[in-house]
């Protein structure tokens, strides 16, 4: 099964109002803002998009809006963060007719690690019952999938087309780049180390840093592909400094703050996630502004 996922794939945020309702108008504006940065794909309802709070109806609503706004320009990946095979399939069926390129699916996340065979059968059944290509979202700290299991799934489950390797594990990403079957996508979600990930052969990234700073991340990808490592290293140095200031406890809220600084209004996080503090804002803003000097559109406007 061939689905071309490569390059810079931002994890879209979800605009909520003070009552926790989705603001679809702001969401569509956000999709257009991201597309205007010449990204290579988009993913909705991931961790950055607070997809762990969605109902199936909300997942369908935003998937439909994304597909409509993208209009075939780039692949659309829909995230599913759920805790049982049954629930994942229910959500997948809610978007099955909308034309997404793939689903980004986490292993089960609540406390227990059921073991490798259970996770193999989990992804196998999701594929067999939905027929939608799958990107494994390897992010759950107590249920991280090892390289042997991931490679087995890529070899034995036709619908597993790639993996989003998260949790800051560049070693696991490097191993998967070497061992993955041909045609499978290794998408690095190691936000401060995108440059070395691209250099070692990752097909791209699906992550939050390209959402917070899409222009510089696209410029980084293009620089690596053009062999301009002087420019790539300069962007990398700024990205490392910036990302180390982004707090994990309310990361979606901080990404929204970064977007607002770039003129993209994206609402507030869903309660109880806290808003960015004044201290967080004071640290992030100058680092983001330094990184945005590498946004080609902003540089041209200046």
pLDDT in tens, the chain (302 residues): 678 999 999 999 999 999 999 999 999 999 999 999 999 999 999 999 999 999 999 999 999 999 999 999 999 999 999 999 999 999 999 999 999 999 999 999 999 999 999 999 999 999 999 999 999 999 999 999 999 999 999 999 999 999 999 977 799 999 999 999 999 999 999 999 999 999 999 999 999 999 999 999 999 999 999 999 999 999 999 999 999 999 889 999 999 999 999 999 999 999 999 999 999 999 999 999 999 999 998 866 65
Q: Please give the Cα distance from 30 to 274 (Å, whole number).
A: 21
Q: Are 220 and 202 in contact (CB under 8 A)?
A: no
At residue 1, the pLDDT reads 63
Q: Is 72 exposed, middle or buried (0-12, 13-18, 19+ CB in 10 A)?
A: exposed
At residue 167, the pLDDT reads 73
Q: Please give the Cα distance from 297 to 245 (Å, whole number).
A: 24
Domains contained in the chain, CATH given: 7-293 (3.20.20.70)
- Catalytic positions are 137, 164
Q: Is 182 exposed, middle or buried (0-12, 13-18, 19+ CB in 10 A)?
A: exposed
At residue 193, the pLDDT reads 96
Reduced to 3 states (helix: H, G, I; strand: E, B; else coil), residue 134 is strand
Helix (H) or strand (E) holding 233: helix 229-243
At residue 302, the pLDDT reads 55
- Distance between start and end Cα atoms, the chain: 44
């Amino acid at each position: 099964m061939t689905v071309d996922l490569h390059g810079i794939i931002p994890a879209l945020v979800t605009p909520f109002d003070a009552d926790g309702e989705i603001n679809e108008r702001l969401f569509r504006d956000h999709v257009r803002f991201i597309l205007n940065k010449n990204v290579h794909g988009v993913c909705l309802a991931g961790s950055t998009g607070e997809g762990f709070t969605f109902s199936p109806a909300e997942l369908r609503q935003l998937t439909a809006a994304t597909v409509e706004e993208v209009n075939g320009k780039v692949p659309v990946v829909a995230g599913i963060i759920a805790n049982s095979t049954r629930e994942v399939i229910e959500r997948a069926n809610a978007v099955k007719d909308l034309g997404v390129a793939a689903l980004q699916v986490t292993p089960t996340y609540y406390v227990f690690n059921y073991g490798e065979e259970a996770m193999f059968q989990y992804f196998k059944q999701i594929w067999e019952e939905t027929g939608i290509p799958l990107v494994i979202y390897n992010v759950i700290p107590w249920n991280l999938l090892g390289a042997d299991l991931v490679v087995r799934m890529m070899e034995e489950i036709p619908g597993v087309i790639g993996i989003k390797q998260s949790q800051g594990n560049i070693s696991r990403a490097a191993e998967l780049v070497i061992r993955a079957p041909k045609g499978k996508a290794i998408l690095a979600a190691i936000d401060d180390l995108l440059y070395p990930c691209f250099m070692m052969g990752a097909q791209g990234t699906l992550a939050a840093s390209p959402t917070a700073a899409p222009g510089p991340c696209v410029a980084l990808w293009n620089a690596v592909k053009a062999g301009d490592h002087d420019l790539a290293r300069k962007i990398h140095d700024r990205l490392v400094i910036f990302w180390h200031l982004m707090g994990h406890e309310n990361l979606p809220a901080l990404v929204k703050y970064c977007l607002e600084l770039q003129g993209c209004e994206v609402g507030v996080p869903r309660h109880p996630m806290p808003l960015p503090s004044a201290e967080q804002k004071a640290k992030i803003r100058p680092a983001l502004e330094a990184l945005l000097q590498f946004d080609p559109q902003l540089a041209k406007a200046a």
